[in-house]
Amino acid sequence: MLEYAKKELVKYGKLIIEAGLTKGTGGNFSIFDRESSLMAITPSGVPYMSMREEDIVIMDLDGNIVEGDLKPSSEYQMHSIVYKNRKDVNAMVHLHSKFAATVSTLRKPIPAVDYLVAFSGGKEVPIAEYATYGTKELAENAMKAMGDLNAVLLANHGLNVVGPNMMTAFAVAEQLEFCAELYVRAKSMGEPVILDDEEMTMMVKRFENYGQKKE
Ligand SMILES: [Zn+2]
């Protein structure tokens, strides 16, 4: 089932490690197949570099396993709530990337330190209220804070990025982790200048057609 999604998840698992966006088994990713209403999600505790297509778990949006021998990621609810609420989203990455996670410990958004923050779909990457990992509460907090945007920070935890497909979600995650790094580094020397709302509104419009839409 969903062979294309399994292939993509295995491929992007390696790319995400190579890009330095997470380590070992940290984070989790999924692809949603709108036609069948099923989600392909990475398994719990399998290192991305050795993950195989048969390790991917297929689930419905109510949390039932439809195919797969392994346990799905403990954050599956955080993925399914997004597919239930967002018709424009077919892929999601949840990462423990170093700099986004660093900012998340301040429980503050990533402000517009660079125009690339507009890849979030807004003038900043918002921060969700803290909840224990793997809980329904965390899924709800993340969904609420993200709203119609493409990304959200999870307090003292990491970053979620969504997109029309895996390629876009991955590319946006790389850009936002770069912005988080700029913010952390700039803060170590002084107070960065934040781009104004007018500039960021224009950038958001400009980025709206970024990436490849799902065919
Ligand atoms: Zn996590």
Mean residue pLDDT of the chain comes to 95
Per-residue pLDDT of 65-75, as tens digits, reads 999 999 999 99
49 vs 215, higher pLDDT: 49
Ligand 1 centroid to residue 48 C-alpha, Å: 14
First vs last C-alpha separation in the chain: 19
* Helix 76-85 and helix 136-146, axial crossing angle in degrees, nearest 10: 40
* Predicted pLDDT of residue 213: 52
CA distance 214 to 163: 10
Ligand 1 centroid to residue 182 C-alpha, Å: 22
* Predicted pLDDT of residue 97: 95
Q: φ, ψ for residue 214 (rounded to 5)?
A: -65, 135
Place 24 in a pLDDT band, splitting at 50, 70 and 90. confident
Per-residue pLDDT of 82-93, as tens digits, reads 999 999 999 999
Residues 6+ apart with CB under 8 A from 161: 92, 93, 95, 150, 151, 169, 170, 172, 173, 176
- Of 44-48, 123-127, 145-149, 190-194, which gets the smallest average pLDDT? 44-48
Ligand 1 centroid to residue 185 C-alpha, Å: 23
Ligand 1 centroid to residue 181 C-alpha, Å: 19
Q: Is 161 left (phi over 0), alpha (psi -120 to 50) or beta?
A: beta
CA distance 175 to 94: 14
- Of 10-24, 31-45, 87-101, which gets the smallest average pLDDT? 10-24
Read off the pLDDT of each residue in 1-23 and give the average, rounded to a whole number.
94
Place 215 in a pLDDT band, splitting at 50, 70 and 90. very low
Catalytic residues: 75
The answer to whether the CB of 107 falls within 8 A of the CB of 127 is yes
Ligand 1 centroid to residue 133 C-alpha, Å: 6
